[in-house]
Amino acid sequence: MIESSLKDIAAALRDKKVSAVELATESLSRIEAGNARINAFVTIDRDGALAAAKAADERLAAGTAGPLTGIPLAHKDVFCTEGVLTTCGSKMLSNFVSPYDAHVVSLLKAAGAVMVGKTNMDEFAMGSSNENSHFGPTRNPWNTDKVPGGSSGGSAAAVAARMVPIATGTDTGGSIRQPASLCGITGIKPTYGRVSRYGMIAYASSLDQGGAFGYSAEDCALLLSAMAGHDPRDSTSLEQGAEDFGRDLAKPLAGLRVGLPKEFFAEGMSDDVRAAVDAAIAEYRNLGATTVEVSLPNARLAIPAYYVIAPAEASSNLSRFDGVRYGHRAADYGDLNDMYCKSRAEGFGGEVKRRILVGTYVLSHGYYDAYYIKAQKLRRLIANDFAAAFQLCDVIAGPVSPTVAFGIGEKSDDPVQMYLSDIYTIAVNLAGLPGLSHPAGFGAGGLPVGLQLIGNYFGEARLLNAAHQYQQHTDWHTRAPAGV
Amino acid sequence: MSRTDWEVVIGLEIHTQLNTQSKIFSGASTAFGAEPNAQACAVDIALPGVLPVLNKGAVERAIRFGLAIGATVAPKSIFARKNYFYPDLPKGYQISQYELPVVQGGQITLQVPDGKGGAYEKVVNLTRAHLEEDAGKSLHEDFHGMTGIDLNRAGTPLLEIVSEPDMRSSAEAVAYAKALHALVRWIDICDGNMQEGSFRCDANVSVRPRGQAEFGTRREIKNLNSFRFLQQAIDYEIQWQIDLIEDGGKVQQATVLFDADTGETRAMRSKEDAHDYRYFPDPDLLPLVISSEWIERVKGELPELPEALSARFQGEYGLSAYDATTLTASREVAQFYLDTVAAAGAANAKTCANWVMGELAGRLNKAELDIAASPVSAAQLAGLVQRIADNTISNAIAKKVFEALWNKEGESADAIIEAQGLKQVTDTGAIEAIIDEVLAANQKSVEEFRAGKEKAFNALVGQCMKASKGKANPAQVNELLKKKLG
């Protein structure tokens, strides 16, 4: 049942063909069977899941169930969960049990979704391969020698391996869209401010945004609708209340103007990815959309701008992990400074340290203007490019990642090569726009390729509509890896 | 060789704790004195994932302050992160305002005592005032080889008020701090409790040869929590800097602490060890936007300010600048004075001022009471003043009546005068009878007076007053006595 669409699962629950406890049990056994191979989960919460499933069954019986009641789901381990370990993929928080639920977690709890566990991730969401986890790399269900992408790689792999039908993720520079693409599932990052960041452990506050993974756009619409909405505890949360992002799913695509940024198609994309992306765009034309060339001349500056702004914010956000109040504290230390140094040296992995160093440097006296202020100006230029492009089109289409999933260890010694794998996704975060990735075929080694759709601010319903219409006419999103 | 004439330059940074119910970025209580960490919520202890939400009450208080000093209330200001590690700073950064503070400019006019019983007027310009959160407390006592952290104070709202380097003596610095202390209580944004740390001063002090345009190198004295310490610390620091320079040394920029036990300042850290705070705009908070409607509403709710009231006291009641400043030192004193004048009549305003600042203030001070807790009410004091004005009692008797009011011996001055028979004797016949008695009993003094000894006259007046138990009208006694002896 887990491999079915949410609509079908919900119908089965409603029609008493399956119970929430049975669904949770199915999900848990799939995880317990597959996790040794995939390493998608850091924590499996069997007891919590079964208790939540039982409560969901009571709601179903009482007729007070919503569309997500009884649906098993996984949370990226960046979201705080009361009473359940929240590690953020780090040794620093390997012992941290949150005393409160993130806003997203409490919304989904209230909706009756059944959390089965917490998924693996790059430490503090810094990475594009899930190799930067204290708990070991997550493996791509399509080929376990390959990475699932990152930083929400555990959530993407869990859905791709049909362990859960939906999962939450966060996207700071592509961390939902890229793993969705590499794992052959659908993922959406909404407009910045749609999903409350309260209880979502911060990496780069001005870029971080929670979002949804599922098999299809339709499933993502259901999950995102339950996650979004104004939260007074997050000052950057948008005033807009919850909305039904699935309201336009059935809309035909005739008249949809799809912008193709010439810079995305110029170079850098591997041939297999290009072939799949071109075919997908052709399919959109078949469905009645028109395509138009647009230009994002400053998009090439997105990576340098991002690798100033994100580390700057991270260097400050991660200062609270000092070993004083919670988290890892070194066993032996001399004075206070020694405690800080040893606790943080032991608690953080290499990539996190690298970004803290870079961030500290760019904010330092004498460098601030040259780096941080300059990067903020680039950010404005990049947002202006998108604004100009959206004068000509309704959505922008392009690749998500330059290649299909790469090998575990392949780029881990070359951080810049790793950073470049986010070249198509990062600009979207800098502008705060919504972006989606959906399966669009397969490339080298039979590995999935995703297509990225970028919308204007608040354009989530339009993105999901486009992807859904595409998925009504293609079956890439129904393909599951062998052995699942 | 003549010694250099040194000019002192002082600027103050004053942290005022805003009297909001809850913290600046969380809902935890700000009440003083709770068990350690009992008032620290998830946001205050900086758990992973928590976010700040700005307390509007703190902003409103900043607006009140800005309006009270004639400053610009910035339509848009920015919260920034000041990054440094310390165990009582849970996030590893303090949320403050850096490049764009909420209050910009403004000035305060003060009366500085000139040391000769008078005072002169001084205008101090303000640079800015910005909102920020307080840190927690590190407790080094009671923990052997360890440090205790109390985060109750973490996140308490502060308004840091920064002056221009406009003050030229410790007396001016203290007068400025006192004026500010009075103002923040006046507009009800801070309780002003210095023992509890609600009002803390940092003083930037430098010296330069008089006439030199450039400032000397300054040292910053941190955390002075009484006006006396402020004065002592600045005076010590000035002398220390002058001695150093005159001995051929150079002042190094530094942060120093004042030791109240020794009365000395000593360097805490030099410029080289100064933190690079890596300020940048806090991405968790949107720019603080203050609409002109909001500012207008706050303006409408502001009480009459001490400067305006002081001017009114001088203009309408003919008080001296110094008296007017004294009577506007706090809203409670000013209100008591206004109530007294209202009951006694504006014609008696000067007498009212003398009594409020003199007998009443002295008595309250001795009893360590606030004017709000005064046993003598404004109406009672006004009744007393009226009886002085209409010659029912003399000043000397008035002091007795005041004492009786203080001790609750009667409901009003009139009741006490009546009950204790203190009414001034103005009946010429009665006074003449007393005089005759005194003259008969003091023939020696009469002869001395007639022999040209002026002092003997005063002794006779004294005897008459004594014989009347102080109730005889002194002017009448004088007049009638002269006539009799004439």
Residue of A124, A207, A315, A324 to mutate for B, most B C-beta atoms under 10 A = A324
Name the residue among A102, A319, A365 with its Cβ closest to that of B49.
A102
> Can you say how many angstroms the Cα of residue B416 is from the centroid of all Cα atoms in its chain?
34
Contact: A98, B47; criterion CB under 8 Å: yes
CA distances (Å), origin A157, targets A1, A13, A154, B236, B259 = 18, 25, 5, 69, 62
Name the residue among A102, A198, A312 with its Cβ closest to that of B280.
A312
The whole-angstrom separation of Cα B20 and Cα B17 is 9
A80 touches chain B (CB under 8 A): yes
Contact: A80, B48; criterion CB under 8 Å: yes
A205 touches chain B (CB under 8 A): yes
B81 touches chain A (CB under 8 A): yes
- Among chain A residues, the shortest Cα distance to B148 is held by A324
User: For chain A, which residues make up each domain, given as ranges?
Assistant: 6-256+433-478
A380 touches chain B (CB under 8 A): no
The whole-angstrom separation of Cα A191 and Cα A37 is 34
Contact: A235, B285; criterion CB under 8 Å: yes
Residues of A in contact with B83 (CB under 8 A): 315-316, 319, 363
For tokens 């397969």, name the residue: A442
Q: What is the dihedral of CA B387, B393, B395, B397, to 10 degrees?
A: -120
Q: Which residues contact B261 (CB under 8 A, 6 or more apart)?
A: none
Contact: B47, A326; criterion CB under 8 Å: yes
- A118 labelled catalytic: no
Measure in Å the smallest separation between the Cα of A430 and chain B Cα atoms: 13
The whole-angstrom separation of Cα A71 and Cα A53 is 8
Cβ atoms A186, A180 nearer than 8 A: yes
Taking alpha carbons only, the member of A363, A361, A352 closest to residue A415 is: A352
Query: Which of these CATH numbers, 3.30.470.20, 3.50.40.10, 3.90.1300.10, 3.90.1150.10, describes A6-256+433-478?
Result: 3.90.1300.10
Q: Where in B210-279 does DSSP place strands (E)?
A: 219-224, 254-259, 264-270
The whole-angstrom separation of Cα A304 and Cα A331 is 38
The whole-angstrom separation of Cα A313 and Cα B278 is 11
Spot the catalytic one: A19, A27, A152, A175: A175
- C-beta neighbour count of B281 within 10 angstroms: 20
Contact: B283, A80; criterion CB under 8 Å: no
Contact: B283, A236; criterion CB under 8 Å: yes
pLDDT of residue B1: 40
Q: Burial of A365 by CB count in 10 Å (0-12 exposed, 13-18 middle, 19+ buried)?
A: exposed
How is residue A425 annotated by DSSP?
T
Tokens at residue B146, please?
Answer: 């360890």
A206 touches chain B (CB under 8 A): yes
Cβ atoms B350, B323 nearer than 8 A: no
Name the residue among A88, A316, A372 with its Cβ closest to that of B48.
A88
Contact: B50, A235; criterion CB under 8 Å: no
A316 touches chain B (CB under 8 A): yes
Could you check whether the bond before residue A151 is cis, i.e. omega within 30 degrees of 0?
A: yes
Cβ atoms A399, A279 nearer than 8 A: no
CA distances (Å), origin B404, targets A468, B292, B382, B407 = 91, 53, 15, 5
User: Can you name the residues that pair with A261 across neighbouring β-strands?
Assistant: A294
A234 touches chain B (CB under 8 A): yes
Residues of A in contact with B51 (CB under 8 A): 197-198, 233-235
ipTM given for this complex: 0.96
Measure in Å the smallest separation between the Cα of A363 and chain B Cα atoms: 5
B369 touches chain A (CB under 8 A): no
Measure in Å the smallest separation between the Cα of A56 and chain B Cα atoms: 27
Q: Which residues contact A11 (CB under 8 A, 6 or more apart)?
A: none
CA distances (Å), origin A331, targets A323, A348, B149 = 11, 15, 20
- A76 labelled catalytic: yes
A94 touches chain B (CB under 8 A): no
Contact: A232, B286; criterion CB under 8 Å: no
Name the residue among B48, B149, B284 with its Cβ closest to that of A205.
B284
Size of interface A-B (CB pairs under 8 A): 97
Contact: B83, A320; criterion CB under 8 Å: no
Taking alpha carbons only, the member of B376, B382, B373 closest to residue B332 is: B373
- C-beta neighbour count of B104 within 10 angstroms: 17
**Helices H, strands E: what count in chain A?**
17, 11
Q: Which residues does chain A have with pLDDT short of 50?
A: none
- Among chain A residues, the shortest Cα distance to B45 is held by A325
Long-range contact pairs involving B115-119 (C-beta distance under 8 Å, separation at least 24): B115/B171, B118/B322, B119/B321, B119/B322, B119/B325
Contact: A316, B278; criterion CB under 8 Å: yes
Contact: B283, A336; criterion CB under 8 Å: no
Cβ atoms B96, B128 nearer than 8 A: no
Tokens at residue A355, please?
Answer: 């970004």
pLDDT of residue B74: 98
Q: Which residues contact A454 (CB under 8 A, 6 or more apart)?
A: A386, A395, A396, A397, A398, A428, A433, A434, A435, A436, A463
User: Can you name the residues that pair with B267 across neighbouring β-strands?
Assistant: B256
Residues of A in contact with B147 (CB under 8 A): 336
Tokens at residue B155, please?
Answer: 């996140």
Contact: B48, A340; criterion CB under 8 Å: no
Residues of A in contact with B90 (CB under 8 A): 320, 324-325
Which domains are present in chain B? 6-295 (no CATH), 304-419 (no CATH), 428-485 (1.10.10.410)
Taking alpha carbons only, the member of B355, B390, B353, B347 closest to residue B376 is: B355
A89-108 b/e (C-beta count within 10 Å ≥ 16 → b) = bbbbbbebebebbbbbbbbb
pLDDT of residue A472: 97
Contact: B92, A319; criterion CB under 8 Å: yes
Contact: B85, A319; criterion CB under 8 Å: yes
Measure in Å the smallest separation between the Cα of A93 and chain B Cα atoms: 9
Measure in Å the smallest separation between the Cα of B232 and chain A Cα atoms: 33
Contact: A316, B42; criterion CB under 8 Å: no
Q: Is A453 helix (H, G, I), strand (E, B) or coil?
A: strand
Cβ atoms B143, B36 nearer than 8 A: no
Q: Where in A120-175 does DSSP place strands (E)?
A: 166-170
The whole-angstrom separation of Cα B24 and Cα A316 is 20
Long-range contact pairs involving B324-328 (C-beta distance under 8 Å, separation at least 24): B325/B110, B325/B111, B325/B119, B326/B357, B327/B353, B327/B356, B327/B357, B328/B182
- A16 labelled catalytic: no
> Can you say how many angstroms the Cα of residue A467 is from the centroid of all Cα atoms in its chain?
17
B286 touches chain A (CB under 8 A): yes
- Among chain A residues, the shortest Cα distance to B94 is held by A316
A99 touches chain B (CB under 8 A): yes
A313 touches chain B (CB under 8 A): yes
Residue of B43, B44, B50 to mutate for A, most A C-beta atoms under 10 A = B50
Contact: B49, A363; criterion CB under 8 Å: no
User: Can you name the residues that pair with B17 across neighbouring β-strands?
Assistant: B158
Contact: A236, B286; criterion CB under 8 Å: yes
A290 touches chain B (CB under 8 A): no
Measure in Å the smallest separation between the Cα of B306 and chain A Cα atoms: 37
Measure in Å the smallest separation between the Cα of A362 and chain B Cα atoms: 9
Spot the catalytic one: A27, A90, A128, A151: A151
Tens-of-pLDDT digits for all 486 residues of chain B?
A: 456 799 999 999 999 999 999 999 999 999 988 999 999 999 999 999 999 999 999 999 999 999 999 999 999 999 999 999 999 999 999 999 999 999 999 999 988 988 887 889 999 999 999 999 999 999 888 788 888 999 999 999 999 999 999 999 999 999 999 999 999 999 999 999 999 999 999 999 999 999 999 999 999 999 999 999 999 999 999 999 999 999 999 999 999 999 989 999 988 877 666 789 999 999 999 999 999 999 999 999 999 999 899 999 999 999 998 899 889 988 999 999 999 999 999 999 999 999 999 999 999 999 999 898 999 999 999 999 999 998 888 888 899 899 999 999 989 988 988 888 777 777 888 888 888 888 888 888 888 888 888 888 888 888 888 888 888 888 888 888 888 887
The whole-angstrom separation of Cα A307 and Cα A423 is 12
Spot the catalytic one: A76, A91, A146, A189: A76
Cβ atoms A180, A136 nearer than 8 A: no
